[in-house]
A and B are shown apart, each in its own frame.
Chain A
Amino acid sequence: MSRLPTPITVSRPPDQHRALRRRRAGEAAMAWSFVSPSVVIILGLSVVPIIWSLLLSFRADDLVTPSRWVGLDNYRALAQDPHFSQALRNTLLYTALYVPASMVIGLALALNRRIRFVGLYRTLFFVPFVVSATAQGVLFSFILDPEFGAANAVLHHLGIPSQGFLTDPSQALPVLVAVSLWSGTGFCLVIYLAALQDVPVSLIEAARLDGAGRGQLLRHVTLPALRPVTVFLLLWQAIQALQAFDLVYVTTKGGPLGSTTVIVYFIWEQAFKNATAGYGAASAYVLAVALGLIGLILQVVRRRLQGASA
């Protein structure tokens, strides 16, 4: 553990030094008793499962009867499984729609700071973030119910024909993205707000004095200052989107016609519904490697940006 130099310049009397050293010597046992519960639980429930998962992905296992070694068969089967590639496509489409939209809307809602009712607005935008995906899913299945839902009632009053929403294979995924935006935008909003407060006022003043208009200010001062936080949000939102499950389970169960089966839903279905845990583990590994790669790339980008701004 690195120690920062303390501001106190007077050195400690030698007897204090000795006392400290003596007490430190007998401390290891104490330290271990402090950390061991965390170490056992955290490492025990991550390292063991990772290895177990890898082994599982080479086996055929239904979680009940003894499993059987099948080598790379699970991975080979994945490469040819049309349901898996559909899940992959759905997940990528969902991510590509959701991530930029949540960030752009979040930023747009964060940019204004000195208007009336700004506190009320922010509360309203953020509240859905604390609502669970389950509650949200149940609520929106009700609102978007093709027969009894409020959404179609509103459309009816406007003279627009009823829509299938989550029951229509061509609409379900975009509708799911819109529902996710309801709860996910608030997070981007508060992160951007916090970052905007860190943009140096002197920088903005200087640009104003040089005659920068509002658009120029945004383009040349504010947005560059927000770049690190934008990369963070990109990473965070992408990870959330690639791991979406709860909302899908509650609203569509992957349907209609597999149009909203995302990867995690696919994994869950294989492992816990179809009793093909080995196959599920293999698909989980494919997802994990993809997530790891995305994380790595964005970390490198982030380092570069931080290096450039320092």
Chain B
Amino acid sequence: MTAVSARPDAAPAASSASRPGTRRHRSPLPFSPWHLLLAPMALLFAVPLVWLALSSVMSNAEINRFPPALWPSRLDLGGYRYVLGNAMFPRWFANSLLVSLVTVVANLVLGTLGGYAFARMRFAGSRLLLGLMLATMAIPFQLTMIPTFLVMKQLGLIDTLGALIVPSLVTPFSVFLLRQFFLSLPRELEEAAWIDGCSRLRVLWRIVLPLSRPALSTVAVLTFLSTWNDLTWPLIAINHDTQYTLQLGLTTFQGQHHTQWAAVMAGNVITVLPVLLAFLGAQKAFIQSITSTGLKG
């Protein structure tokens, strides 16, 4: 029965095992011994997501018996119908999308402006400011979360999407990453245009930004990932369910419907799918973003 749920992923691994001809001469196996480690591990990593997809199209009756069915007997979209109709998932999805998009755009704009000024323009105190901003990256969120809640309360933003957006409009990470990238660009091009009377903004827009795609996409990917996936801050800043993000909505929904697993898993699929599709569509950009920050950090 286990093998059934695992079949979609076991297939490629199994066919790899049957194919002979890798370069390991001394190995008694017809394939690289690495597969003995990698194939079961890959299965272990893939099975939870496969199970997520499968259970979202099962009926509650199939899930809520022991032992539960491990393969849907028929496609049952009741879970999806429930979360899209009766529950507030569409609203939460829109909230998450709005918060993530505004945050990404704000980080790109403000990060570019700040990063460019720190990279290329001279003004009193720039080194000190940059140093201070870098130092704030080492502050753990737990230390600031209680006062940030109080600041947002003073601003009257608690329980609105504004409370989710304002604290992450621009992160020191975005500013610093873009500054480092701008420093790596050759200066001559910008200076020539600047001497010819182009304003800084125009130079930035026309010359610098078109060369900065990789850095901009890194900022966009990482900002989106952290905003979309965050739970801690929405949990603190939001009380009313019309203002929930998907993550907050999903965990609350699970608490209220803990026997309606099909619906919970359908909601879970809706929460995971945008990030998953974005990742599979731009896998290279994702991985480059994550490694570039990792190796520099």
Contact = CB atoms under 8 A, between A and B. Distances in A.
Interface of A: 1, 6, 8, 16, 19-20, 23-24, 27-28, 30-32, 34-35, 37-39, 41-43, 45-50, 52-53, 56, 63, 105, 108-109, 112, 114-117, 120-121, 123-135, 137-143, 145, 147-150, 152-154, 156-157, 182, 187, 190-191, 193-195, 229, 232-233, 236, 239, 243, 245-246, 249-250, 263-264, 267-268, 271-272, 277, 280-281, 284-285, 287-288, 291-292, 295
Contacts of A130: 225, 229, 275-276, 279, 286
Nearest to A233: B294
Given A39-B129, A45-B148, A117-B12, A50 B143 contact: yes
Interface string B246-279: 0110110010000001001100100110011001
Interface of chain B, helix or strand or loop or mixed? helix
A236 B294 contact: yes
Interface string B184-206: 00111001001100001000000
Contact of A232 (B127, B150, B265, B294): B294
B231 A128 contact: no
A127 B276 contact: yes
B2 interface: yes
A121 B31 CA distance: 15
Most buried by B among A132, A133, A284, A285: A132
A269 B283 CA distance: 37
B271 to A, nearest CB: 5
Interface in B26-41: 31-32, 34-35, 37-38, 41
Most buried by A among B22, B55, B142, B147: B142
6 contacts: A34-B200, A38-B111, A63-B149, A123-B280, A140-B48, A292-B138
A295 B137 CA distance: 12
Contact of B123 (A31, A127, A134): A31
Contact of B142 (A31, A125, A194, A264): A264
Interface stretch (B81-89, B168-176, B211-219): B168-176
Interface of B: 1-2, 5, 9, 12-13, 16, 19, 22-23, 31-32, 34-35, 37-38, 41-42, 44-46, 48-49, 51-52, 55, 63-68, 70, 110-111, 113-114, 116-124, 126-127, 129, 132-133, 136, 138-151, 166-167, 169-172, 175, 183, 186-188, 191, 194-195, 200, 225, 228-232, 235-236, 247-248, 250-251, 254, 261, 264-265, 268, 271-272, 275-276, 279-280, 283, 286-287, 290-291, 294-295, 297
A220 B27 CA distance: 24
Given A34-B114, A34-B116, A135 B271 contact: yes
Contacts of A280: 146
A117 B117 CA distance: 46
A148 B275 CA distance: 28
Most buried by B among A114, A130, A246: A130
Contacts of B45: 124-125, 127-128, 182
Given A24-B122, A194-B295, A295-B138, A138 B283 contact: no
A226 B134 CA distance: 26
Nearest to B138: A295
A245 B116 CA distance: 35
Contact of A236 (B41, B51, B297): B297
A271 B153 CA distance: 15
A145 B110 CA distance: 45
A145 B70 CA distance: 14
B5 A150 contact: yes
B294 A191 contact: yes
A229 to B, nearest CB: 7
A31 B122 contact: yes
Most buried by A among B12, B113, B146: B146
A43 B291 contact: no
A127 B37 CA distance: 18
B231 A134 contact: yes
Contacts of A281: 146-147
Contact of A127 (B49, B68, B129, B248): B49
A264 to B, nearest CB: 5
Contacts of A193: 291
Contacts of A37: 110, 113-114, 169-170
A239 B116 CA distance: 30
Contacts of B32: 112, 115-116
Contacts of A126: 287
Given A132-B272, A137-B251, A281-B146, A148 B63 contact: yes
A148 B68 CA distance: 6
What are the 3 closest A-B residue pairs judged by CB atoms, nearest first?
A: A49-B147, A132-B229, A38-B114
A306 B42 CA distance: 35
Nearest to A128: B45
B113 A35 contact: yes
Contacts of A249: 231-232, 235, 251
B142 A267 contact: yes
A300 B146 CA distance: 31
B295 A131 contact: no
Contacts of B247: 132, 134-135, 246
Contacts of B291: 190-191, 193-194
